[in-house]
């Protein structure tokens, strides 16, 4: 009870406080409103016939029997939809030389991956639609296919896109020009080739959409389980030729997204077209196998990398080649090269060195598209860098903590620019390293490891330093011509009873956007949080904005809310000053009461100000026009990204007989700037880490030689379950960004960014007595036993 008062002890101080999410009670009661739950009057259901071939020409499609089935309203092919929808191409202007072929809702001539939707059926129930699919006959003519990276690069091999000369989507190179010289003068060089399997998001709610075109109003309403409603409003408007103001996209409760639900999917675009053709609501919910074969996949990189060091273990240079295979198209509108681009730019990010060269080659193959998924590119750049650092440590004879302490950019040396061109405002690698060392009780962990090793128990300790891109500005997509907003908007109203309604463009997918926006508004205005109602995810109601992706909810959305609230507060105090015959600057708001700023003496509840302004404006001085609704937009300026940083640690045990890995404990020290709600930040970190651990140990989309996905179910594609996951210890360092008043950066991808790297280092540490190494993700028991030469 004798603890000193902190800033959190003043009334309505919510920034920094662990308050529960207001909307979570609804979800706990089974009252979520997911798109998959939605039923509209006269609604019909779509199902899709999918290609069994990875690459084939469509010779003929016979649909008469399907059309004849009772309950079937429409059978549509690619040609039917192409008459009303324009095609799209997944390239961005600033990726020079990038290619990808035009895409249509359903294919016109060829199928390019196994599982691609070919024909759509709309019927009175999903079951009838599926019955009809069985009555459709498609004649295919097999075409030569490309499944792996080597085949995609082979000269004279099959080409995925007729008319092109190779299967390259994009090539890029970064070169400081001095790399060869640095390697020539290095005391030590470490080198490795890494492979990273294809993963997919496996949101627990599959993709879901209900398109509802009303021809009498010329109005399209789409209930869409997406992170980015404004982006889809724009896309549906432009590709179907409907004025933007007559397209409404509503994204209420979303059952998981992780980046997967912001890309254009062929089925979703088709469902909009089907609804336009029928003039009725049409619903499509992917089932799990459809999710596996048509949701975007991610990662799928092969990286060769080397690092040069001087005799003391100081990093001199890195040289990297990243090959990544993305499927037959590049996704739209964000493209599939962003991950590779981030891989080569994030390499070596935490470290102080100048000589860097990287080549990126992005290749087509006959598989479903890969694209942005949680922590785009980060896990790969981090795993490669951190494994090379560990290899170097062992070569130089330094402890993993010591080599990092020698090389990380010093906390007092910012601002800094990385050799790959990223600008860092202020990071805290040294503080994080020190904190992790204490938190892990590193020396005892090492002593225990040595002790157990004598008894045939092989434990490994791994650490991984990381940086994370958050708060992306317009340079991310806008410069490439994509209509993806970097700004966000908020509309704030004081209601007649003195509460606040906040309509904001950042969206909620369970991470707590609505909670933190409510906290910021309540804090800045001086009212109780339960007097703030936050509304998200409806383009007809909320102002246009980028919405929630790439960790921009708190940093950009939060700043938008903060600035909007300050404007509203100023307006409220101006009216209060007129009523109280006082200067606005002499007033403040605390706990919903206008008070004397100096003495904190209560003057008038803000509900009374609202009552007078709304209902008795006749009592205000002539000429007064109360502005109790404010509309405010904020676009990030200053640094192109607000980089965050941190470090993770992992303790695990490898069973050298079975190859099984048990993660014992995981640690993270994270610096996301100003923490708005510590509980939500910690849960974001834990969730992110577990997704990263899944990628590190279990998850892989495995294909046959003929391009068939072999593990398209939750029994075959393993995701982390409670039993395999460790407890996760979390600590924070706070370095707020000076680019905003709020100072918040993102945190959603930090956990995923370094988890794979950490596990990779820990497993290699455990295997070190056997002279065995692992350089592939996921680290399956088979791969462990192969490394041990026991399989």
Contacts with other proteins by CB under 8 A lie at 20-21, 24-25, 27-32, 34, 36-37, 39, 65, 69, 127, 131, 134-137, 201-206, 253-258, 287-288, 509-512, 679-680, 683, 685-687, 689-691, 713-715, 719, 721-723, 725, 727-728, 751
Least Cβ distance, residue 207 to other proteins (angstroms): 13
* Residue 487 or 677 with smaller CB distance to other proteins: 677
Question: Closest approach of Cβ 72 to other proteins, in Å?
Answer: 12
CB 672 within 8 A of CB 737: no
Least distance between other proteins and beta carbon 14 (Å) = 15
Tell me whether residue 283 or residue 302 sits nearer to other proteins (CB atom): 283
Q: Indicate the SS3 state at residue 103.
A: strand
Q: What DSSP designation does 105 have?
A: S
Closest CA to 316 of 356, 353, 358, 357: 353
Task: Using the CB atoms, write b or e for 78-93: b if 16+ within 10 Å.
Answer: bebbbeebeebebbbe
Nearer to other proteins, 139 or 244 (CB): 139
In the bound state with other proteins, the residue whose beta carbon lies nearer, of 689 and 757, is 689
Distances (CA, A) of 279 to 73, 77, 217, 311, 540: 11, 18, 11, 72, 20
Radius of gyration of the chain (CA): 28
- Identify which of residues 356 and 466 has a Cβ nearer to other proteins in the complex: 466
**Overall size of the chain counted in residues:** 791
Q: Report, in Å, the least distance between residue 682 CB and other proteins.
A: 8
Least distance from other proteins to the Cβ atom of residue 691, Å: 7
Q: Quote the least distance from Cβ 5 to other proteins, whole Å.
A: 24
> In whole angstroms, how far apart are CA 669 and each of 346, 350, 604, 696?
19, 14, 45, 19
Identify which of residues 492 and 728 has a Cβ nearer to other proteins in the complex. Answer: 728
- Smallest gap from Cβ 303 to other proteins, in A, equals 26
Considering the complex, state which of residue 253 and residue 390 has its C-beta at the smaller distance from other proteins: 253
Closer Cβ to other proteins, 449 or 507, answer by number:
507
577 or 719, CB closer to other proteins?
719
**Who's near 239: CB < 8 A, 6+ residues apart?**
85, 86, 88, 269
CA 374 – CA 549 distance, rounded (Å): 9
Q: Which is nearer to other proteins, 86 or 713 (CB)?
A: 713
151-169 exposure pattern, b = at least 16 Cβ within 10 A, e = fewer: bbbeeeeebbbeeeebbbb
- Of the pair 656, 758, the CB lying nearest other proteins is at 758
Least separation in angstroms between CB 719 and other proteins: 6
- Of 322, 305, 420, 319, the C-alpha closest to 363 is 322
DSSP for 741-785, please give it. SS-B---TTHHHHHHHHHHHHHHHHHHGGGT----EES--HHHHH
Q: What is the DSSP letter of 23?
A: T
Instruction: Tell me how far, at minimum, the Cβ of 510 lies from other proteins, in Å.
Output: 3
Cβ closest to other proteins, residue 158 vs residue 678:
678
The pair of structure tokens assigned to 358 is 């990287």
DSSP 65-78: HHHHSTTEEEEE-H
Give the Cα separation of 218 and 742 in Å (integer): 42
Backbone angles phi, psi at 333, to 5 degrees: -95, 5
Tell the smallest beta-carbon distance from residue 69 to other proteins (Å): 8
**In 3D, which of 428, 403, 387 has the Cα closest to residue 353?**
403
**Cβ–Cβ under 8 Å, residues 465 and 669:** no
Minimum CB separation from other proteins for residue 19, in Å? 10
For the bound state, the minimum distance from the C-beta of residue 727 to other proteins, rounded and expressed in Å, comes to 6
| DSSP SS3 for 194 | strand
């Amino acid at each position: 009870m004798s603890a000193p008062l902190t800033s959190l002890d003043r009334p309505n101080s919510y920034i920094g406080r662990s308050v529960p999410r207001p909307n979570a009670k609804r979800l706990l009661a089974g009252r979520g409103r997911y798109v998959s739950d939605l039923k509209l009057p006269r609604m019909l259901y779509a199902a899709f016939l999918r290609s069994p071939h990875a690459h084939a020409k469509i010779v003929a499609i016979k649909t008469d029997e399907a059309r004849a089935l009772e309950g079937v309203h429409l059978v549509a092919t690619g040609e039917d939809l192409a008459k009303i929808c324009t095609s799209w191409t997944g390239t961005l202007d600033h990726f020079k030389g990038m290619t990808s072929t035009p895409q249509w809702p359903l294919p016109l001539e060829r199928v390019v991956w196994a599982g691609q939707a070919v024909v759509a059926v709309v019927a009175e129930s999903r079951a009838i639609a599926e019955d009809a699919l069985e009555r459709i006959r498609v004649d295919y003519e097999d075409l030569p296919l490309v499944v792996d990276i080597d085949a995609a690069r082979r000269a004279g091999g099959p080409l995925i896109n007729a008319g092109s000369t190779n299967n390259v989507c994009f090539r890029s190179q970064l070169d400081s020009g001095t790399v060869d010289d640095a390697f020539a003068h290095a005391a030590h060089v470490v080198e490795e080739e890494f492979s990273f399997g294809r993963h997919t998001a496996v949101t627990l709610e599959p993709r879901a959409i209900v398109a509802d075109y009303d021809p009498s109003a010329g109005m399209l309403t789409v209930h869409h389980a997406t992170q980015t409603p404004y982006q889809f409003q724009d896309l549906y408007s432009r590709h179907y030729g409907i004025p933007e103001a007559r397209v409404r996209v509503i994204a209420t409760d979303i059952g998981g997204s992780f980046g997967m639900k912001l890309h254009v999917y062929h089925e979703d675009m088709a469902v909009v077209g089907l609804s336009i053709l029928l003039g009725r609501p049409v619903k499509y919910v992917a089932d799990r196998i459809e999710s596996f074969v048509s949701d975007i996949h991610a990662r799928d990189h092969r990286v060769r990398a080397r690092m040069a060091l001087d005799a003391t273990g100081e990093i001199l240079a890195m040289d990297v080649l990243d090959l990544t295979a993305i499927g037959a198209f590049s996704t739209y509108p964000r493209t599939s090269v962003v991950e590779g681009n981030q891989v080569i730019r994030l390499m070596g990010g935490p470290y102080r060195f100048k000589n860097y060269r990287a080549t990126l080659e992005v290749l087509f193959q006959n598989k479903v598209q890969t694209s942005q998924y949680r922590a785009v590119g980060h896990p790969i750049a981090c795993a490669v860098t951190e494994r090379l650092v560990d290899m170097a440590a062992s070569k130089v004879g330094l402890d993993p903590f010591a080599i990092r302490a020698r090389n990380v950019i010093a906390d007092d040396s910012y601002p800094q620019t990385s050799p790959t061109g990223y600008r860092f405002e202020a990071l805290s690698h040294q503080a994080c390293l020190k904190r992790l060392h204490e938190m892990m009780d590193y020396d005892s962990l090492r002593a225990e490891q040595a002790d157990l090793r004598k008894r045939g128990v092989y434990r490994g300790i791994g650490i991984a330093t990381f940086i994370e891109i958050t708060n992306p500005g317009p340079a991310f997509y806008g410069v490439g011509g994509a209509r993806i907003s970097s700004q966000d908007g908020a509309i704030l109203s004081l209601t007649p009873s003195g509460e606040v309604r906040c309509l904001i463009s950042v969206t909620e997918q369970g991470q707590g956007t609505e909670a933190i926006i409510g906290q910021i508004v309540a804090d800045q205005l001086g009212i109780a949080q339960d007097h703030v109602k936050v509304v998200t995810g409806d383009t007809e109601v909320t102002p246009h904005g980028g919405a929630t992706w790439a960790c921009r909810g708190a940093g950009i959305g939060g700043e938008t809310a903060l600035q909007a609230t300050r404007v509203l507060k100023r307006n409220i105090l101006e009216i209060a000053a007129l009523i109280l015959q006082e200067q606005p600057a002499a007033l403040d708001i605390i706990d919903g009461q206008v008070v004397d700023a100096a003495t904190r003496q209560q003057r008038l509840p803000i509900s009374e100000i609202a009552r007078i302004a709304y209902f008795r404006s006749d009592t205000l001085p002539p000429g007064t026009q109360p502005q109790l609704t404010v509309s405010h937009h904020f676009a990030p300026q200053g640094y192109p990204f607000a980089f965050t940083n941190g470090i993770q640690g992992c303790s695990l045990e490898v069973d050298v007989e079975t190859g099984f890995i048990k993660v014992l404990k995981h640690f993270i020290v994270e610096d996301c700037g100003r923490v708005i709600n510590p509980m939500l930040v910690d849960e974001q970190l834990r969730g992110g880490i577990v997704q990263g651990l899944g990628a590190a140990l279990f998850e892989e989309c495995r294909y046959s030689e003929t391009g068939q996905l072999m593990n398209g179910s939750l029994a075959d594609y393993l995701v982390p379950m409670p039993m395999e996951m460790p407890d996760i210890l979390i600590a924070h360092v706070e370095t707020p960004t000076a680019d905003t008043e709020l100072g918040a950066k993102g945190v959603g991808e930090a956990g995923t960014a370094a988890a794979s790297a950490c596990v990779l280092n820990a497993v290699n540490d455990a295997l070190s007595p056997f002279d065995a190494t692992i350089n592939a993700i996921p680290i399956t028991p088979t791969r462990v036993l192969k490394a041990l030469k026991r399989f």
